[in-house]
Structure 1
């Protein structure tokens, strides 16, 4: 069943990518790249090219540098280390050429080449870049470990990674080889199948642990409950600015091991080890270590669980339970909380009703990443097969991804181009405002979402096959321009009513795609992807001449209403200064608002309290705090006399 699961996904992606095998491999692994924390928002680059590169990014703002290469192989074939070294040498050669803005050897890689050239002025590229190899083949654990020691550090995503075959049982850790062993004390525990120890591990030891073992160390993480991917700015800032406070500020890690040697208060060795909670902390500390940040004052809280149950099935079930519940009970970021807030649970429930199906097909609203995979693991085989026939993989709507599309459609494609996290925040803000205004119908919204998803997924494939390297920047702006040219009256319900996307809609998208790509690709004053995140980019594209062949009169149009975003400033003015101050005092008292208090109070004092509209940036700050407080228990409909003044 597992092998056929890969084959089915690969065949689907191969069709989408017009037979391009390397492009199909990238898209098979695309979601796993971010789920595993290897890279936050990778960009796809259309192969072939002489370096076998299919993706990457060079983001100096986030300190994130990665190349992604595809090694084609028969499914399940074992790859030798010579193959890995050859791929590593090609990628190293690409980086060696990133010393000037002279044309890159491959036009498809021009954008990536220029991004690394810009980065090279402040960063030594090879020691700060990770190469990620994608392959349908298999790579042995020792080869994966050896690949991490190459000058260009290499992580490998193979068939076992796709199938989520755990390798943690292969990890034998000798902490004495990494630095100071974790210092722990035995905690009281009445269970007879495991022991619990609490303590601290040095930041240097943890960094070297991940340096040696890489992603298999995090195999115990349940993807369903992963929080923010990519570099965590809060963790990075604490490591650099307040390293001695890291132990107090951070929740730490939970490590589970099948065997352990503990001498005195020190964990000397562990086998079958896995970090089941705190993967983001681990990766962030490794990234800081790699950048040369001094970690000598950093201590990380650790909960160490030694499994004493001997039965293999019992051991596996206990590991999964510990992983799942430790992640559920951990503090998660605001975006993770938002998916549990109205209206997202209702949208997910509505998406499973047959009356909102399109052409007999269900479109499932996956509000939290990895939910479908969790269904596969927890449902019976026949039950999941029946479910997946109703909701095919290509009809799963990711909340974070559709947030990008809706931002573009409502008139702010620059917010959509800012990535999934920021895009989802703006998407959630808009839905919250619509709920508050009672201008909301979950079924109508989901029907429109299906129509928009059909257009978005078509556009995603079209941009991947026809253009290279700027899809995350250009796709939102094509959607935004299309909606703008239709006066925000394009009828998405008409797309929901049809099983397939009409040819005239495909034609309209293709006509606009070229001018948008040229405009963004030819921008020279800054990084093109950064410019795409600005309102100036949106205004520039709206000012482009409309192509004569654009079929405006043949596209479906709503008879009334417009799909446009509300004004967050108006929303906050409607809440009023009194309620916002109550929220602020509640949040401060309940330790929800710990940072930027001065900025928050300044905004409230100088805008809403004086009956002045906050700027978009100021409104975003207050809305973020508003959502964060609600996510932590603040009830906007309740009176709080203790916080009223």
Structure 2
């Protein structure tokens, strides 16, 4: 997709979002970019807001988004330059610097405490400024973003860093070209390019470990602890592969053992510490090949705790020499960029085997996501009244998958594709997590941000998948779509309600869904929301919508109540205490709503039937896998299995069936055992197929 097509698609997406949310186009653009930043690992959870004003000595102030909750204790703020033009505008250096100056002025007045004087206490800007003031110097770094849907002038070469009360301020410029590059990149994020000579002028000594693979090369190095700490200080959690970032965010800042070693026996750090495992897609070495001078797309896939601990120890001990004698063992795997999408998640999975990562985890190529994708391509949606064709819901397990698939088609086929999979029926991994966790009555987790919520969702799915993956079936998918319909219709209705005052829409929606689920369980035991009817009609009934709006109004009042325990509404919504407050608020479900509920036994029967069907489908899939493997391939496995003792007599008997030594074809149970033998052989080094 070229830049012009990307611009048109982005504008269409933003306009549709603004219409649904009944919001300004500029705010819808900021919300869309925020989600893309989260997926790319740039900023974990931007909260979108709107403030334009003036401060001391009539300085211009502005802020459009913030994130106060990064694992590295940095604070991110963003300001917008947005245009509704039909063509791509060029942003001049003067305009860019003016907007960043307005954002920096806001930060300065907020931290000093001057901003709040005489301003409305209930406003989002006041709440943000209060939080920034209270944090004071307990911030590792300020990251200020200029976000625009224009193209930055070629004359803009970047903005030099500065400081505020000794805390570094970095400036980041994100224009249309940069957003386009991230969407087009295979990794779905912007690759970090790190010049190691800034820390080690001669280059970092490395030792290549010989191997035969053309897909990757492995190196060992003793990395100065100060280099690791500085990299984390500069790049924060962007340096950490997504799985590691998610794992680290729930842990304490400093590992006590690491801290003790650094302060009392720094020279022993190499001996005591397991070190870090990292990947990169590019490596530049000195002419003799013995030193690394730069890395492309560096990602720490194991050792996040070590990385963060080095940073915090250095920060707590002002003297710069605290890490001078500390060296960290590092294994670096440099991966072919074309293979990185598949290899890096696998390296991360196996490197973190001691912190067991499930097969149904964060990665888009895990079996859970593949099954949802398969179900979405197969299940037809009931035709809407007046429409003589069926559509489908499209599960997008990787960013841009929908557009990429559509753009590969001819104009005629692309039109058919869009009719089969309407843009309004596309949902992503993080969307699925948002819908499911909202109904599971954890709105405070959803409010914590897309990535944190997805981690919680993945952990729950992992338990289901590993116990009985047949639970992820047609019924599960239809229920998930029903939750999607519910979430999005509540969102549209709340956005247009006369009581809704723009702000906290996402929090209101997730809390409304959770409150409805809770009240059904409390007031109508033995009953359940009729997800099957929502799927069938592809919409909510009038009683459901009216009830949800009433709940939404109650929720909005609780979230913004003057008696709330946390001043910042967005931060308040992230706490379990907030959910306890909303849950305790009295609400009587109307009879028009409760009469549409169904007996739980009806739902349980449907789930049982769908689970049994999925079990049959799984059996067919595995027998198809067995049938599609040639006799010669099974023969090579049989020879390997006998030679390496990875198969018992029963397993050999099954192999005799597929190699033609015996007549017949293996049953489903035998096929499962046969594939298990194949997996065991691969663990022992079998690689013929």
Structure 1 residue matching 2:131: 3-state secondary structure: helix
Alignment partner for residue 248 of structure 1, among 258, 265, 274?
274
From 309, 332, 336, the counterpart of 1:303:
332
Aligned to 2:473: 442
Pick from 349, 352, 368 the counterpart of residue 377 of structure 2. 352
Shift of residue 162, structure 1, vs aligned partner: 2.0
Alpha-carbon distance between aligned partners in 2 of 1:142 and 1:378, rounded to the nearest angstrom: 33
When residues 404 and 371 of structure 1 are mapped into structure 2, their CA distance, relative to the original with a 3 A threshold, is same
TM-score normalized with structure 1 length: 0.68
For the structure 1 residues 463 and 336, does the alpha-carbon distance in structure 2 shift closer, same or farther, using more than 3 Å as the test? farther
Pair 521,28 (structure 1): closer, same or farther in 2 beyond 3 Å? same
Partner of 2:683: none
Aligned twin of 2:103: 91
Structure 1 residues 206, 349: closer, same or farther in 2, change over 3 A?
A: same
* Higher mean displacement: 423-432 or 131-140: 423-432
SS of 2:151 mapped into structure 1:
coil
Matched, 1:541 2:541: no
Instruction: Give the match for residue 520 of structure 1.
Output: 559
Indicate how the Cα distance of structure 1 residues 104 and 188 shifts in structure 2: closer, same or farther if over 3 A, else same.
Answer: farther
Asked if structure 1 preserves the Cα contact closer than 8 Å seen for 2:68 and 2:74, the reply is: yes
Q: Equivalent residue for 2:514?
A: 480
Deviation at 1:553, TM superposition (A): 0.8
Instruction: Report if aligned partners of 2:88, 2:151 keep a CA contact under 8 Å in 1.
Output: yes
| 1:53 aligned onto 2:63 | yes
Deviation string, structure 1 residues 367-410 (Cα, Å, up to 9, x no partner) = x5537279559966778776555334442333443333333324
Q: Out of 170, 174, 179, which is 1:153 matched to?
A: 170
The 3-state SS of whatever aligns with 2:297 is: strand
1:255, distance to aligned residue in structure 2 (A): 4.8
Instruction: Please state how far the C-alpha of 1:560 moved relative to its aligned partner.
Output: 1.0
Q: Quick one: distance in 1 between partners of 2:95 and 2:301?
A: 29
Query: Is residue 2:486 matched to residue 1:455?
Result: yes
Alignment partner of 1:188 is 2:244: no
2:198 counterpart of 1:177: yes
User: Using a 3 Å threshold, how does the CA distance of structure 1 residues 401 and 104 change in structure 2: closer, same or farther?
Assistant: farther
| Kept after mapping to 2: 8 A contact 1:46/1:464 | no
Aligned partners of 1:373 and 1:240: how far apart in 2? 47
SS at match of 2:292: strand
CA distance in structure 2 between the partners assigned to 1:32 and 1:556 by the alignment: 41
Which stretch of structure 1 is more off in the superposition, 98-107 or 487-496? 98-107
Structure 1 residue 6 displacement after superposition: 3.0
Q: CA deviation at 1:159?
A: 1.3
**CA offset at residue 128 of structure 1?**
2.4
Q: 2:548 aligns with which of 500, 504, 509?
A: 509
Distance in 2 (alpha carbons) for counterparts of 1:341 and 1:170: 23
Quick check: 1:275 aligned with 2:297? yes
1:15-30 to structure 2, matched below 5 A, reads 15-17=16-18, 18=22, 20-30=24-34
Supply the distance in 2 between the matched residues of 1:438 and 1:156 (Cα, whole angstroms).
Answer: 44
Task: Select which of 29, 44, 47 maps to 2:48.
Answer: 44
Counterpart in the other structure of 2:143:
130
Relative to structure 1, the CA distance from residue 412 to residue 190 in structure 2 (aligned partners, 3 Å threshold; closer, same or farther) is: closer
> C-alpha distance in 2, partners of 1:80/1:375?
32
Distance of aligned partners of 1:553 and 1:373 in 2 relative to their CA distance in 1, 3 Å threshold:
closer
Distance 2:470 2:236 in 1: 48
2:290 is matched with: 265
| CA-atom RMSD in angstroms | 5.0
Aligned-partner SS, 1:278: strand
CA distance in 1, matches of 2:306, 2:88: 32
CA displacement 1:72-99 (0-9 Å, x = unmatched): 1455444333333222221222222345
Q: Aligned to 2:254, what secondary structure does the other structure show?
A: helix
| Distance in structure 2 (CA, Å) of the matches to 1:139 and 1:281 | 37
1:292 pairs with one of 312, 315, 318 = 315
Work out the CA distance in 2 between the residues paired with 1:448 and 1:264: 56
Contact 1:67 1:131 in 2 (8 A): yes
Conserved 8 A contact 1:403-1:423: yes
State yes or no: 1:491 paired with 2:530: yes
Change (3 A) 1:446 1:478: same
Deviations 1:541-583 (A, max 9, x none): 2343448xx8651577232118999xxxxxxxxxxxxxxxxxx
> How many angstroms apart in 2 are the aligned matches of 1:160 and 1:385?
27
Separation of aligned partners in 2, 1:38 and 1:395: 27
Deviation at 1:152, TM superposition (A): 3.1
Is 1:404 aligned to residue 440 of structure 2?
Answer: no
Q: Unaligned regions of 5+ residues in structure 2, if any? A: 55-60, 263-268, 317-321, 385-389, 605-675, 677-689
Where 1:16 maps in the other structure, the secondary structure is helix
Contact 1:202 1:300 in 2 (8 A): no
C-alpha contact 1:112 1:469 (8 A) present in aligned 2? no
- Work out which of the residue numbers 80, 86, 90 in structure 1 matches 2:92: 80
Q: Check 1:213–1:229 CA distance in 2 against 1; reply closer, same or farther (3 A cut).
A: closer
Distance 1:559 1:451 in 2: 15
> Is residue 252 of structure 2 the alignment partner of residue 227 of structure 1?
no
| Partner secondary structure for residue 96 of structure 2 | helix
8 Å contact from structure 2 (residues 79, 147) kept in 1: yes
Count of equivalent residues: 545
Equivalent pair of 1:207/1:282 in contact (CA under 8 Å): no
Shift of 1:453: 0.5
